[in-house]
């Protein structure tokens, strides 16, 4: 994946200090495959479902807005889809 050197969306959202900053400032994400940007609107901390190990990593649920629509997804899914933090990309990646 092209963003292996960057901090994953889910990792930064798991840091309480970073989570607070992101929610207060509505941090921006970037999706390289589509060249789309998005603003994070809300983040919810989600407890895993007992007995369902696949929900352990689904601990942050994000509502975000793109130019065209409001969307929501788990942070780990945003990482899998190729979203990265806008403040970590270089001009060459735009």
The residues near 18 (Cβ < 8 Å, ≥ 6 apart) are 12
* Residue 75 and residue 60 in contact, taking contact as beta carbons nearer than 8 Å: yes
Model confidence pTM above 0.85: yes
The secondary element (H helix, E strand) that includes residue 13 is: helix 9-13
What residue ranges do the domains of the chain occupy? 29-48+57-87
Residue pLDDT, tens place only, 17-71:
999 999 999 999 999 899 999 999 999 999 999 998 888 899 999 999 999 999 9
**Which structure tokens are listed for 1?**
């994946």
């Amino acid at each position: 994946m092209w963003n292996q050197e960057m901090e994953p969306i889910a990792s930064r959202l798991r840091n309480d200090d970073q989570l607070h900053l992101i929610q207060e400032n509505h941090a921006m994400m970037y999706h390289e495959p589509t060249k789309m940007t998005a603003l994070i609107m809300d983040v919810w901390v989600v407890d895993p479902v007992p007995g369902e190990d696949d929900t352990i990593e689904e601990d942050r649920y994000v509502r975000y807005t793109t130019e065209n629509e409001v969307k929501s997804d788990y942070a780990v899914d945003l990482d899998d889809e190729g979203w990265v933090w806008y403040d970590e990309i270089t001009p060459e990646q735009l």
